[in-house]
């Protein structure tokens, strides 16, 4: 028997109903904040991620699915979508248009990392990018969108963490200071940290190995090395968050894992996910568009939600909608009548199943399917013009006309 590839999975009902609800909620929140959808290819040239994400990041060095096309071009299954969105933004000359472009996306990403709770090699992200403004108010608005989205999907008890990682003016000096501080202690750290201490010292701060935490806590903090402009920007972001009533916790060692981040970075964590408890992360990337070839300064900020992990956190609180009505026709004339009735109700957006057979078997099926109501349509009902509607949870039964049936189903939704 052929099974799904390791690190991938099939999403089956009723779980897919929760996925659809989460995505519908996200679309509604994006619409409220005036974001529009963008859909980028799953395949991109490998150089896009090497330049955009960072050649020394774990994603590029260890996790990407990369192969040569028949013409020799190196292609990669997208491991994240911000670089792709910025590539599309430049290619289609959106950087030539005035104002802030607000774009959102949903779809699969691919990374060859070790499968664990809520993490897969084909995983799904919901994300957004606001491109064209350096304003700290935009940072706060993006974070507000995140909070609204999570709350409306039913996630409770999450924690917002924020930090600033400086910019091209102050971060290089901090990174060099970090590199010097790491030299005498790196040999006592995990293998990844020993490598990063030379190639990408900032990423050492993102290490999750418990034995390394005491060393990391003793390292200098970037908050103490911000230039005046970055400090002023971050202070303004915090003030806007306070004005909006959004609680946050400062995490001075929060750096995220991608090279393009600068200034504001943020993460949301949730206790239901275990040690790897991040639901989403994001931040500002003011130089990414220029790095990818834009001739126009196009500052931006965005985030991506691990949809797999978000669904895992909320699915217990979201009950499937279930079947509203199962119609049980008795006899050939009733079957033909029920088929027409079912289509009429479905077009009115009711969930309807039609089941032929002995009444006892049909009622057993209604129980298995979790139908809210069962409608019995036989010769007597056709002659009288009234159906028998049974409430499957209470056992109550009533005779209804065709018009009364639709009204009763609608009322049961409230």
Exposure of 70 by Cβ count < 10 A (0-12 exposed, 13-18 middle, 19+ buried)? exposed
Which residue carries 């709770």 as its tokens? 117
End-to-end, the C-alpha distance of the chain in Å comes to 46
159-164 and 249-250: which strand pairing? parallel
Residue 27 confidence (pLDDT) above 90: yes
Across 81-107, average pLDDT: 92
Tokens of 95: 């950087």
Which residue carries 């039913």 as its tokens? 154
Across 127-151, average pLDDT: 94
Nearest alpha-carbon partner for 160 in 284, 253, 278, 317 = 278
Other beta carbons less than 10 A from residue 10's beta carbon: 8
Rounded-to-integer distance, Cα 272 and Cα 159, Å: 12
Rounded-to-integer distance, Cα 411 and Cα 397, Å: 16
**Do residues 67 and 75 lie in contact, with contact meaning Cβ atoms separated by under 8 Å?**
yes
Which residue carries 């049961």 as its tokens? 412
Summarised one tens digit per residue, pLDDT across range 288-342 is 888 888 888 889 999 999 899 898 888 765 555 678 898 888 888 888 888 888 8
**What are the angstrom distances between the C-alpha of 47 and each of 60, 151, 405?**
10, 37, 60
Rounded-to-integer distance, Cα 67 and Cα 323, Å: 45
Rounded-to-integer distance, Cα 234 and Cα 284, Å: 11
Other beta carbons less than 10 A from residue 238's beta carbon: 18
397-400 and 387-391: which strand pairing? antiparallel
Rounded-to-integer distance, Cα 377 and Cα 387, Å: 6
Summarised one tens digit per residue, pLDDT across range 33-89 is 999 999 999 999 998 988 867 656 667 777 888 999 999 999 999 999 999 999 999
Nearest alpha-carbon partner for 117 in 277, 304, 305 = 277
Residue 195 confidence (pLDDT) above 60: yes
Summarised one tens digit per residue, pLDDT across range 147-174 is 999 999 988 889 999 999 888 888 888 8
In the chain, pLDDT over 70 holds for what percent of residues?
93
pLDDT at residue 216, rounded to an integer:
82
Nearest 5°: the CA angle 337, 338, 343 is 105
Choose between 134 and 207: higher pLDDT.
Answer: 134
Nearest alpha-carbon partner for 324 in 236, 393, 225, 231 = 393
Helix extents (H) in 206-249: 213-217, 228-243
235 conformational bin, left if phi > 0, alpha if psi -120 to 50, beta if neither: alpha
Tokens of 133: 């403004």
Rounded-to-integer distance, Cα 231 and Cα 264, Å: 10
**Do residues 120 and 7 lie in contact, with contact meaning Cβ atoms separated by under 8 Å?**
yes
Task: Quote the pTM value.
Answer: 0.82
Nearest alpha-carbon partner for 48 in 375, 305, 334, 291 = 291
């Amino acid at each position: 028997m052929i099974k799904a590839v390791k690190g991938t999975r099939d999403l089956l009902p009723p779980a897919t109903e929760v996925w659809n609800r989460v995505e519908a909620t996200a679309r509604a929140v994006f619409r409220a904040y005036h974001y529009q959808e963008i859909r980028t290819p799953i395949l991109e040239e490998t150089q896009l991620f090497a330049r955009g994400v960072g050649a020394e990041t774990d994603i590029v060095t260890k996790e990407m699915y990369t192969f040569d096309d028949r013409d020799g071009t190196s292609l990669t299954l997208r491991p994240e979508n911000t670089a792709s969105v910025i590539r599309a933004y430049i290619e289609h000359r959106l950087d030539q248009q005035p104002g802030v472009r607000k774009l959102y996306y949903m779809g699969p990403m691919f990374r060859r990392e070790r499968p664990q709770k809520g993490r897969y090699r084909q995983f799904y992200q919901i994300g957004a990018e606001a491109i064209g403004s350096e304003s700290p108010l935009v940072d706060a608005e993006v974070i507000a969108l995140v909070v609204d989205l999570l709350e409306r999907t039913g996630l409770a008890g999450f924690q917002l963490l924020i930090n600033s990682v400086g910019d091209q003016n102050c971060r290089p000096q901090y990174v060099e200071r970090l590199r010097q501080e790491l030299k005498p202690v790196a040999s006592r750290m995990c293998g990844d940290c020993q490598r990063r201490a030379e190639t990408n010292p900032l990423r050492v701060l993102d290490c999750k190995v418990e034995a390394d935490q005491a060393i990391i806590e003793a390292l200098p903090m970037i908050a103490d090395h911000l230039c005046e402009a970055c400090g002023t920007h971050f202070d303004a972001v915090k003030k806007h968050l306070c004005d909006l009533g959004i609680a946050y916790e400062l995490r001075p060692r929060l750096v995220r894992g991608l090279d393009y981040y600068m200034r504001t970075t943020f993460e949301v964590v949730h206790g239901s996910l275990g040690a790897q408890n991040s639901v989403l992360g994001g931040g500002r990337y003011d130089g990414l568009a220029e790095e990818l070839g834009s001739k126009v300064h196009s500052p931006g900020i965005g985030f991506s939600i691990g949809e797999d992990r978000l669904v895992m956190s909320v699915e217990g609180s979201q009950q499937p909608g279930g079947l509203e009505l199962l119609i049980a026709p008795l006899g050939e004339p009733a079957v033909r009548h029920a088929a027409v009735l079912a289509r009429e109700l479905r077009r009115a957006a009711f969930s309807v199943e039609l089941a032929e057979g002995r009444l006892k078997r049909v009622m057993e099926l209604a129980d298995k399917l979790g139908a809210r109501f069962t409608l019995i349509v036989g010769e007597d009902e056709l002659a009288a013009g009234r159906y028998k509607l049974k409430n499957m949870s209470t056992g109550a039964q009533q005779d209804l006309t065709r018009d009364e049936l639709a009204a009763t189903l609608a009322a049961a939704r409230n």
